[in-house]
Chain A
Amino acid sequence: KQEVTQIPAALSVPEGENLVLNCSFTDSAIYNLQWFRQDPGKGLTSLLLIQSSQREQTSGRLNASLDKSSGRSTLYIAASQPGDSATYLCAVNFGNEKLTFGTGTRLTIIP
């Protein structure tokens, strides 16, 4: 079964620190991997999409990496801010027109 796992479920970090969120998946034959942000009571906002042929993508303070051989992706957030507090979800397209989501990491940045 194709699965996506995110550990830990929750993370608290002091403001200003750099942090890494983890995502693992069970099948290395993927089309792409996407990172989303979800604020309370809101929908998901796409942050970064990494194609199968890519190793990383960057947007501002965010950097996402992809290692298909080990079935892992990381989302690096530099110089964290209170506004970064949200739930971050990883989703994988295993090549069947659909995304399989992890259960997310709830991030709290402590001022």
Chain B
Amino acid sequence: NAGVTQTPKFRVLKTGQSMTLLCAQDMNHEYMYWYRQDPGMGLRLIHYSVGEGTTAKGEVPDGYNVSRLKKQNFLLGLESAAPSQTSVYFCASSYWPENQPQHFGDGTRLSIL
């Protein structure tokens, strides 16, 4: 049981390049989330999904897109990377958020030069 797996763990991009971060969970969770963590800012929600085929905007969605074509996978895309998107990205999943905790992956460290 791997839990929440994020791919890749590290990546360096040049400004303007695009990339996709993959999150996979094997717990059959309905809800999935993408966060970014920056020093002094805490975790901020980028996008989330309440089930297969659904997505919704979080607190800081600009510059990112997401897709949830399969229940177990949640993809985060950067179409044209900017230095302001340098951050650590975390994926999380859960059953019903009203009474179940979120389970986190180990993160992706992304640097935009």
Residues in A whose Cβ lies below 8 Å from that of B102:
34, 44, 46, 91, 99
Residues in A whose Cβ lies below 8 Å from that of B99:
31-32, 49, 51
Point out residues on B near A: beta carbons under 8 Å.
4, 31, 33, 40-45, 48, 50, 58, 90, 92, 97-107
Partner of B42, one of A43, A49, A89: A89
Residues in B whose Cβ lies below 8 Å from that of A44:
43, 90, 92, 102, 104
Residues in A whose Cβ lies below 8 Å from that of B40:
103
**Given that A31-B97, A31-B98 are known contacts, is A43 also in contact with B41, CB under 8 Å in the complex?**
no
Task: Report, as a range, how many residues of chain A touch the other chain.
Answer: 20 to 34
Q: Is A98's CB under 8 angstroms from B90's CB?
A: no
Instruction: List 16 other contacts, CB 8 Å, given A41-B106, A98-B45.
Output: A31-B99, A34-B102, A42-B106, A43-B90, A44-B102, A44-B104, A46-B102, A46-B103, A49-B101, A89-B42, A93-B97, A97-B31, A99-B45, A99-B97, A103-B41, A103-B42
